Structure 1
């Protein structure tokens, strides 16, 4: 029997061929020829056969896991994610042994769901959670300093100041467990209704479809060298230090690409997508803010959010709605009743002088496709690292981004921030 991921990849390939047949006829504005119809019917039969194989393979996979008692239920899966400790995974790779505990449960379940085996070890994005937990422990010494030892407070480690990562938290739709390229059909226009007089014929109308939304695998990764002693320490504070360092570079690379990626090696960023609406706020005022909101209302989009950077936030919070009212465009966290999120990840528009960017839109229209969760691979044999007893740790993730309706966003790039 073929492996589950092989069946799904074969099915995806045949679906693409079917779409190509239809697309060619649509481009030439004609019906399918006899040969094209025969090809379409053959592919349809083959896909139906593959769907049967897929169901059988999935059933056998699930059955085998139930028999061995290691199946993770959907209800418990999120709890398993939260219990994975990144340093345990790295230590297992360094020592050349299998995972255990929550890390093993997560890796096994992820491989079952995706049908793919990781090059190293799968770890969840939750293992890179960097939300701060405030801890306050007062310590003072006023006398006998010479006999009081220093307290090494790893739990109070002072890390670098980093940009806030916001794109996923704004509500993007996340598709996980992907295999082949993703093609999502998109509606363009439909039938129309019309009034007629007695004995008058109705006009015929039909549906049409826009270019489909597509996603394809794009890879982001980080490579770092960790000392043997650091990895062998059992303190959870060291786990936090390793986690923060890896998550910072991975998260910032992903967040930046989702905002302003070039669409070549990176996902195409929201700021570079065609079809985004534009507006001007060169001289910020209340009328301009309302016109931006109106643009979304006119295309039937609700649930907008503002996204910008601290410079634009300052300008909006310092601009009054009307002179001498003491009421400002923004209170720093919202504007016109819609949430305002700020991060240095939003770049200003280059120029002399530079101008600030402001986005308003429904971020649930973004689709983040994930082919591979973060895959950790540990290499203790790289020559330079090996000579010092250190290990190289590689973290990689495969994903892409698309937007369902570009008109659900309004981009402003001329806010004066001087």
Structure 2
């Protein structure tokens, strides 16, 4: 039995137990013999369900963190199948077009199993939205008769496709660490203060100075990109709309991540690195810092013994 069904049964039994007790309380009496027998029976059943729920949760957690199983009984693993995922086929299937989207549907199902969440449409692996270099772009509704008209033609030079001007991305080049496969809040251990050393006389006793450990807790933030394009764009466009859509999404997400990592602090955004430094550096805003303010920020970092990387 699946976890949601077990939880539903448990809730129903507890509701019945509460009803029995409420009936007795309203009559200012204790449970009758029959009511007590039913209450005890329900309690036993709830305890049994608790054991099943615990096992189901354990299995769900293990399955989410496990390596992917082959799809359709094949020998290729999840990452191989995900690398062949077609965003346009997935979107065409979701829009009702008759296309072969078997791989896309199975990859979506595997992501559902791993994440424990039901897709509201169809899931796509995050690798689809990654670009190796120079990402970022913003896109509005693209149709064959509107903004996307330049991609629908009889005679053109798709090999000379001109991309949009994009912001340079900095965070990845500076060596930012990316953590994948996280679920819920994540605690990273932190050494708040280390044990102290002291000079002592011969045969003198050292004073105990234990280290103090803490943790930095990260909570999930959500970022996404939304674009629309028409059926004609799926059927007629050239060059390959698959790569254009992937690049567009990846670029939009990459710039959003870069801006949040460096500055952030906006609505629903994480706190960026520079935003965290401003308070203690005397740098009023990022709008027009003076050279002395920049040097002051560097000095404060060094005085805090935090200059462990490149400034």
- After superposition, the Cα gap between the structure-2 partners of 1:169 and 1:117, relative to the gap in structure 1 and judged at 3 Å, is farther
Q: Kindly tell me: are residues 199 and 126 of structure 1, through their superposed partners in 2, closer, same or farther at Cα, counting changes over 3 Å?
A: closer
- State the TM-score, normalizing by the size of structure 1: 0.45
The answer to whether 1:201 aligns with 2:200 is: no
Query: Secondary structure of the residue that 2:217 maps to in structure 1?
Result: strand
**CA distance change for structure 1 residues 266 and 72 in 2, over 3 Å: closer, same or farther?**
farther
SS in 1 for 2:90: helix
Which whole-Å CA distance do the structure 1 matches of 2:255 and 2:278 have between them? 26
Superposition deviation, residue 224 in structure 1: 2.3
Root mean square deviation of aligned Cα? 4.5
Question: In 2 relative to 1, CA 108–282 (structure 1 residues): closer, same or farther, beyond 3 Å?
Answer: same
| Partner Cα distance (2:290, 2:201) in 1 | 52
1:179 aligns with 2:183: yes
Larger Rg: 2
Question: What is the number of equivalent residue pairs in this alignment?
Answer: 239
Partner of 1:154: 158
Counterpart position of 1:363: none
| Kept after mapping to 1: 8 A contact 2:158/2:239 | no
Q: CA separation of 1:120/1:297 partners in 2, compared to 1, >3 Å: closer, same or farther?
A: farther
2:222 is paired with a residue whose SS is: strand
Which residue number corresponds to residue 215 of structure 1? 218
CA distance in 2, matches of 1:203, 1:58: 45
Would you say the 8 A contact 1:70–1:105 is kept in 2? no
1:100 aligned partner: 102
CA distance in 1, matches of 2:225, 2:186: 25
Are 1:168 and 2:172 matched, yes or no?
yes
Residue 299, structure 1, aligned to residue 305, structure 2: yes
Gaps of 5+ in 1: 8-48, 134-148, 305-359, 361-418
User: Cα offset for 1:163?
Assistant: 0.9
Tell me, what secondary structure is at the counterpart of 1:160? coil
User: Contact (CA 8 Å) 1:84, 1:127: kept in 2 or not?
Assistant: yes
Change beyond 3 A, Cα 1:198–1:64: closer
Alignment-derived partner of residue 256 in structure 1? 259
1:18-417 alignment runs, 5 A limit: 54-58=57-61, 65=69, 69=73, 73=77, 77=79, 79-95=80-96, 99-101=101-103, 103-104=104-105, 106-130=107-131, 151-210=155-214, 212-233=215-236, 237-274=240-277, 278=281, 299=305, 302-304=308-310, 360=311
The separation in 2 between residues aligned to 1:224 and 1:282, in whole angstroms, is: 40
Distance 1:215 1:64 in 2: 26
Gaps of 5+ in 2: 8-51, 135-152, 284-288
Paired with 2:67 and 2:306, the residues of 1 have a C-alpha distance of 46
State TM-score, norm by structure 2. Answer: 0.58
The structure where helix makes up a greater share of residues is 2
Structure with higher RCO (Cα < 8 A, 6+ apart):
1
**Partner secondary structure for residue 117 of structure 1:** coil
Partner SS for 1:223: coil
Distance 1:282 1:292 in 2: 13
Q: Deviations over 1:122-170 (max 9, x none)?
A: 323432345589xxxxxxxxxxxxxxx9831233222321112332343
Contact kept? 1:72, 1:105, Cα under 8 Å: no
Conserved 8 A contact 1:92-1:99: yes
